[in-house]
């Protein structure tokens, strides 16, 4: 069995794909993408001779062929090379929330060590593509470190209510009836005058499909097709609540979907399941689908909110966060993400006004 050793580096910038980077897998991905060893060598800034030697060395070490070596033919990964590449990509996608949390914790430690004036704000939030960008901008422009822990929306709100974080992030469909799954899940988690919503973003959720949509999937009804491999999100995630709400509106029972309980921990992971061919369709955000060149069918536009307690609203770190969210620079960044748009970003919002399904009743004694 091959053992894994993890390291990290310090620097002023990073590329989006350098987490858990391994040179062999990076090279195989370049070959898979370009179909040429020489083109892959140029992409990774190495000589053709060095790349050739590295591939041969790794084949000897692993005891398996990585490429189909045919002179004059387009470079092609061998079955083992394909399997290794997709397995590693899927593992990275599944680990993305934990890796983001680990980086956040390490960067907080270094931020405080280098600058005692750097502020720290704990954020527990539903998995999202925009929050890591916000974290980078917060430390660069406001010396504010967002200590982000990704988890399901329900768990994030529970953490806020239990005092384990200062800000929570959750997302939901806004225009739903008071008896909807959305209302049943979230209504008990809010108290009037105690919780404060902060506008963050609007984003698109829908079906993630292989490029070209080879199975001709058109909508939710197709998820009940016999033999179709669907990948869901975990219980307790806001995305699963959104999907349950959409199914309820169409009259389709989750039990009609054969692989309903087949779940992944993040939007990146469900998109990777489709990209690798282990799933025919998944449900998630548009940004994750576009990042991998996959097709996407929009089914809903939801609101992503940040939540804090009234007692936290005027804390210096929360005020800095609100100011950053209101800035034109941040809203321009947000608008560049596929499926995202600013939505009263940084404004303190009324529960009753923005969540029509939210009503509070005094508990019976």
CA distance 287 to 184: 28
Phi, psi of 15 (to 5 degrees): -95, 155
**Contact status, residue 169 vs residue 123, Cβ threshold 8 Å:** yes
pLDDT higher than 60, residue 14: no
* pLDDT for res 72: 67
State how beta strands 119-125 and 167-172 pair.
Answer: parallel
Question: What domains are defined for the chain?
Answer: 23-77 (1.10.10.10), 103-354 (3.40.190.290)
Confidence check: pLDDT of 290 > 70: yes
Q: Could you tell me which of 232, 220, 248, 243 has the C-alpha nearest to residue 172? A: 243
Confidence of residue 11 (pLDDT cuts 50, 70, 90): low
> What pLDDT does residue 164 have?
96
pLDDT at 128: 93
Q: Say whether pLDDT at 360 is over 70.
A: no
pLDDT of 230 reads 97
Greater pLDDT, 58 or 217: 217
Q: The tokens of 288 are what?
A: 């994750």
- Residue 37: pLDDT above 90? no
Q: Are 144 and 320 in contact (CB under 8 A)?
A: yes
Is 90 a residue whose pLDDT tops 90?
no
- In the predicted structure, residue 97 carries a pLDDT above the cut 60: yes
Whether pLDDT at 16 is above 50 = no
What's the confidence (pLDDT) of residue 75? 83
DSSP bridge partners of 348? 198
Q: For residue 273, give the nearest of 130, 128, 87 by alpha carbon.
A: 87
Calculate the average pLDDT of the chain.
88
pLDDT at 288: 95
Whether 117 has a pLDDT exceeding 80, the answer reads no
Query: Residue 36: its pLDDT value, please?
Result: 86
Q: Which region among 89-103, 163-177, 244-258 has the lowest average model confidence (pLDDT)?
A: 89-103
Tell me the pLDDT band of 293, cut-offs 50, 70 and 90.
Answer: very high
pLDDT > 90? residue 83: no
């Amino acid at each position: 069995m091959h053992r894994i050793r993890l390291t990290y580096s310090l620097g002023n910038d990073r590329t989006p794909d350098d987490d858990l980077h391994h040179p062999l897998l990076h090279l195989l991905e370049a070959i898979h993408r370009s179909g040429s060893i020489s083109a892959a060598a140029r992409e990774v800034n190495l000589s053709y001779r060095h790349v050739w030697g590295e591939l041969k060395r790794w084949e000897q070490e692993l005891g398996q062929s990585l490429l189909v070596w045919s002179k004059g033919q387009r470079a092609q990964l061998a079955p083992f090379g394909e399997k290794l590449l997709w397995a590693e990509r899927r593992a990275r996608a599944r680990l993305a929330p934990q890796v983001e949390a680990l980086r956040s914790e390490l960067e907080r430690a270094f931020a405080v060590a280098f600058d005692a004036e750097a502020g720290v704000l704990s954020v527990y939030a539903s998995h999202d593509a925009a929050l890591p960008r916000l974290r980078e901008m917060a430390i660069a422009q406001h010396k504010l470190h967002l200590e982000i822990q990704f988890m399901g929306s329900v768990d994030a709100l529970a953490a806020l209510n239990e005092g384990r974080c200062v800000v929570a992030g959750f997302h939901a469909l806004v225009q739903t009836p008071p008896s909807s799954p959305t209302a049943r899940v979230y209504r008990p988690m809010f108290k009037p005058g105690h919780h404060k919503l902060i506008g963050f973003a609007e984003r698109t959720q829908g079906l993630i499909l292989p490029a070209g949509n080879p199975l001709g999937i058109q909508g939710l009804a197709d998820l009940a097709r016999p033999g179709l491999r669907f990948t869901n999100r975990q219980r307790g995630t806001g995305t699963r609540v959104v999907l349950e709400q959409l199914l309820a509106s169409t009259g389709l029972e989750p039990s009609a979907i054969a692989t309903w309980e087949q779940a992944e921990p993040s939007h990146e992971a469900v998109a990777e399941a489709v990209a690798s061919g282990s799933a025919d369709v998944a449900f998630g955000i548009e940004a994750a689908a576009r990042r991998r060149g996959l097709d996407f069918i929009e089914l809903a536009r939801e609101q992503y909110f940040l939540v804090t307690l009234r007692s936290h609203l005027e804390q210096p770190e929360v005020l800095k966060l609100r100011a950053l969210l209101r800035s034109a620079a941040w809203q321009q960044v947000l608008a560049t993400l596929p499926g995202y748009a600013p939505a009263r970003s940084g404004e303190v919002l009324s529960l009753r006004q923005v969540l029509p399904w939210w009503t509070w009743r005094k508990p019976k004694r």
